[in-house]
Amino acid sequence: MSEALENLFSLQREIVVVTGGYGLIGRSLVAGLQGLGARVAVIEPQVSEARSTAAFGALARSERLAAFAADVTKRDQLEAALAAIKGRFGPPTGLVNNAALDSPPDAPISENGPFESYPEESWDRVMAVNVKGVFLGAQVFGAAMAEAGRGSIVNVSSIYGAVSPDQSLYEYRRESGENFYKPVAYSASKSALYNLTRYIAVYWGPKNVRANTVTFAGVFNNQDQRFLEAYARKIPLRRGKPHLANMAEANDYVGAVAFLLSPASGYMTGADIRIDGGFMAT
């Protein structure tokens, strides 16, 4: 590979902020981006050496990785984190808004019950992190990029932000006597990111700050076998990994995010990259 082509996809010059870096997808993104040469600043509400080691193993001791405590719904905490990141690495050149809340399948029935009785407080909590948190992260870290004259913001959306959840995937729960439905707030929050991203792309385009979304499908996390079997029927892609039941692995998403943070996507803004195994093609 030529040096010019290597530089095109290189993250060696990048200082990337990743929110929700301790989570399942976040861990893979942090490790992958650092492995590609970026200096990575992890944003989590509660940070400790023990949690960083549990999330990243030996990588937690790297000089190119640091964790900073901040609640993404609190602007003052994000501003304090920005100051600390500048002191450690310099001004950020990339932001991955990955932090998000969802109601897991084992959440109380009030979280996963019918739309008619979905709790208002649950709606507020999910929207605060998934929409307000992205808005504030983009404001704080994006402003630093705009001041520097370059940067890339990647907002993590979901197939359930682009299409309505397929409630038939959870029919096995209802057949077992549970009044279970995939709840509304996660879907609505992830949908909001598409136009928020387009707004940022247009607003900061003149400052050479790009904004794009990535749309992810479900990630294998030892889900109930009945769910895995139903989900597998929605995915046309087959990769010879039967234990995954055609779900993604967390590291399947690193490449697209790295591309959007690299010079290779330098003329790309206001767009979306969908990585879903063909879920939305069926």
pLDDT tens digit sequence for 207-227? 999 999 999 999 999 888 999
Q: Is 193:131 a contact under the CB 8 Å cutoff?
A: yes
154 occurs within a structural domain: yes
Q: Is 17:96 a contact under the CB 8 Å cutoff?
A: yes
CATH number at residue 123: 3.40.50.720
Q: Is 222 left (phi over 0), alpha (psi -120 to 50) or beta?
A: left
Which pLDDT belongs to residue 22?
A: 97
The DSSP bridge pattern shows strands 209-216 and 94-97 to be: unpaired
pLDDT tens digit sequence for 79-138? 999 999 999 999 999 999 999 999 765 677 778 889 999 999 999 999 999 999 999 999
12 occurs within a structural domain: yes
Which pLDDT belongs to residue 4?
A: 67
Number of domains in the chain: 1
43 occurs within a structural domain: yes
196 occurs within a structural domain: yes
Complete DSSP assignment for the chain: --HHHHHHT--TT-EEEEETTTSHHHHHHHHHHHHTT-EEEEEESS--HHHHHHHHGGGGG-TTEEEEE--TT-HHHHHHHHHHHHHHT-S-SEEEE-------TTS-HHHHS-GGG--HHHHHHHHIIIIIHHHHHHHHHHHHHHHHT-EEEEEEEEHHHHS---GGGGHHHHHTT------HHHHHHHHHHHHHHHHHHHHHGGGTEEEEEEEE--B-SS--HHHHHHHHTT-----S-GGGTTPBPGGGGHHHHHHHHSGGGTT--S-EEEESTTGGG-
What residues contact residue 272 under an 8 Å CB cut-off, 6+ apart? Answer: 157, 194, 197, 212, 213, 214, 215
Read off the pTM.
0.95
Name the band, by pLDDT with cuts 50, 70 and 90, for residue 245.
confident
38 occurs within a structural domain: yes
Res 72 pLDDT > 60: yes
150 occurs within a structural domain: yes
Which pLDDT belongs to residue 110?
A: 78
Domain encompassing residue 84: 3-273
278 occurs within a structural domain: no
Which pLDDT belongs to residue 246?
A: 86
HSE (side-chain half, CA atoms, 13 Å) at 111: 13
281 occurs within a structural domain: no
